[in-house]
Amino acid sequence: MFFRKITTKKNGKEYVYVKLIENYRQDGKVKQRVIANFGSVDNLSSDRINCLIASLRKLHNEIETQVNEPKVSLNITSQANEIKRFLNISHLKQAMTQLLGERAYEVAEALAIKFMTAGEVNKPVQEVCKNMGLVDATSLQFYNVMKALGQDEAKEILLKTRIPVAGGNDNIHKPVIIHLFKGTFEGNSFDVDMTGSVYMPQGYQKEIFLLLACDHQGAPVDFEYAEESCDIPRQLSVLVKRIKNLLSENILVLDEENLLHNTTLPVAKPVSDVHGEILAALERGSVLKDNNVFFQVVRHKQVSEGKIKEIKAKLAKVSAGLETIKADVLLGKLTKESIVRKKADSVIKTNQCENLVTYSFNESDQSFSYSINEEGLNQKKQSKFMTTWVLHNAGAGELPMQDGLDVKTDQFHVITDQLKIPPINLYVDYHYSPEIISGHIQLEILKNQILNAMNTPHQGGEI
């Protein structure tokens, strides 16, 4: 199809019309016909043409999204049910219900489960959660819950739920690491046409400075963030006060961006060039040289999105294969343990999932079950690398940790909008308010908290 200007004459006057033409074949010949008439070219101003183009783009985006959108798989539904069962018996549910109320907790639970199992699905959160059978709520309800998760009251209440995991009453003697680094929040901004309709979502990015507090095992437990570097000292002070009140007096800051200079806290800086003598000694632990402490930090970097999709695809194939075996056991087609194990081992080995999937078969009662090792899956999604840091003017008593440190913060470098809803406010910095961005950071911490607490495989189901 294409547009064409058609010129006609009437009563000595020349008129120009714009028409949409389509080619078609009839009797072996290519012919043309008019699909739509857009009227006189005099009535098509530049603004009206831009509106038409925008409307076509909006329609194209909607069609493309529908075609390319991944479906919610049975495996995702199974994982969602497992997380829901865990949350129902956890103290986290009680704390969040106290914070949000019962109805809002249901929305928050659905938001967390959707993020953990289908975070990459590019649809409005209320649609995904409804399709997964999690909750039937409006986009505004999800927005308000995300906003509540980002407020100071939520930070304090949720930090308390992480204290037993971090070591309980012994925390006062254990170090808390505050990792300061640059991050990016990614979402969408929106344009509006002449009728007031939203169209053409544009990529939106906001650079932020994150201050992530991690326990002695490197797991994030609390946070603040700043939009400008000049606000970092104030946000750091707020975070430190909350940590000292609830968690630990022993704090070390890892200043990745070299932005802190006037603080009473011990602040370590990254070292780009380490001399051979110190580098060799670091293999045995922290090094004290000329009143400076050198130590290493283990970082966990997420592998590429393509690699993650490849891993998920293999797991989906394994799940499908094992479900077939489970069905055959139910139907009595498979009864011998040797045959069941041979088939199951073949499915797992073919898809290179030996360390990710386990199964069991009881020949006496003909029961078959399998499980996905969530911890092993998370390890597959990440690669480890070492960085060297130095704490200047430190005494022997200020060694951060003899064996170095481990921080699990690299997944926070890019925080992605999990709501994907039409704008609550067309001014994008109001739509993505500080509370909304904070809510997304809190959601990422909750994801880690839940996975670490579960620390058990997702069951494929007993027969």
pLDDT tens readout for residues 191-225: 655 555 555 567 889 999 999 999 988 899 999 99
Residue 462: the pLDDT is 34
Highest mean pLDDT among 18-27, 71-80, 249-258, 278-287: 249-258
pLDDT of residue 412 exceeding 70, the answer is yes
What number of other Cβ atoms are within 10 A of residue 279's Cβ?
Answer: 15
Domain boundaries, the chain: 2-68, 75-262+419-459, 305-380
Residue 459: the pLDDT is 40
pLDDT of residue 2 exceeding 80, the answer is no
Residue 460: the pLDDT is 40
Task: Give 355's contacts (C-beta < 8 A, 6+ positions apart).
Answer: 373, 376
Give dist(CA 363, CA 428) in Å, integer.
60
Handedness of CA 87, 89, 95, 100 (dihedral sign): positive
Is the Cβ–Cβ distance between 156 and 141 less than 8 Å?
A: no
In angstroms, the first-to-last Cα distance of the chain is 57
Residue 5: the pLDDT is 82
pLDDT tens per residue, range 33-78: 887 777 777 777 776 777 677 667 666 655 555 544 445 555 567 7
Mean pLDDT score across all residues of the chain: 83
Q: What percent of the chain has pLDDT over 90?
A: 41
DSSP string over 40-76 = EGGG--HHHHHHHHHHHHHHHHHHHHHHHPPPPPHHH
Give the 3-state secondary structure of residue 91: helix
Q: CA-based angle 220:373:84, to the nearest 5?
A: 65
Average pLDDT over residues 307-336: 89
Is the Cβ–Cβ distance between 328 and 407 less than 8 Å?
A: no
Residue 262: the pLDDT is 85
Structure tokens at 218: 């490197």
Q: Return the beta strands (E) in 291-430 as ranges.
A: 292-302, 357-362, 367-372, 382-391, 405-407, 414-416
Q: List the single range of 46-55, 283-292, 315-324 with lowest mean pLDDT.
A: 46-55
Residue 453, CA distances (Å) to 231, 402, 449 in order: 34, 27, 6
Residue 308: the pLDDT is 78
Average pLDDT over residues 119-126: 88
Q: Which of 435, 442, 440, 441 is nearest to 420 (CA)?
A: 440
What single-letter DSSP state applies at residue 9? E
What single-letter DSSP state applies at residue 383? E
CA 343, chain centre distance (Å): 35
Q: List the single range of 10-19, 329-338, 348-357 with lowest mean pLDDT.
A: 10-19
Q: List the single range of 76-80, 310-314, 390-394 with lowest mean pLDDT.
A: 76-80
pLDDT of residue 90 exceeding 50, the answer is yes
Give dist(CA 153, CA 457) in Å, integer.
33
Give dist(CA 148, CA 142) in Å, integer.
10
13 — phi, psi (to 5°)? -105, 150
CA 105, chain centre distance (Å): 20
pLDDT tens per residue, range 346-369: 999 999 898 888 898 988 889 898
Q: How many residues does the chain have?
A: 463
Q: CA-based angle 377:379:383, to the nearest 5?
A: 135
In sequence order, the β-bridge partners of residue 186 are 205, 416
In sequence order, the β-bridge partners of residue 31 are 24
Residue 35: the pLDDT is 77
Please indicate whether residue 274 or residue 455 has the higher confidence score (pLDDT). 274
Q: Which of 456, 80, 120 is nearest to 311 (CA)?
A: 120
Please indicate whether residue 37 or residue 421 has the higher confidence score (pLDDT). 421
Residue 31: the pLDDT is 82
Residue 105: the pLDDT is 97
Q: List the single range of 42-56, 304-318, 377-391 with lowest mean pLDDT.
A: 42-56
Average pLDDT over residues 239-260: 91
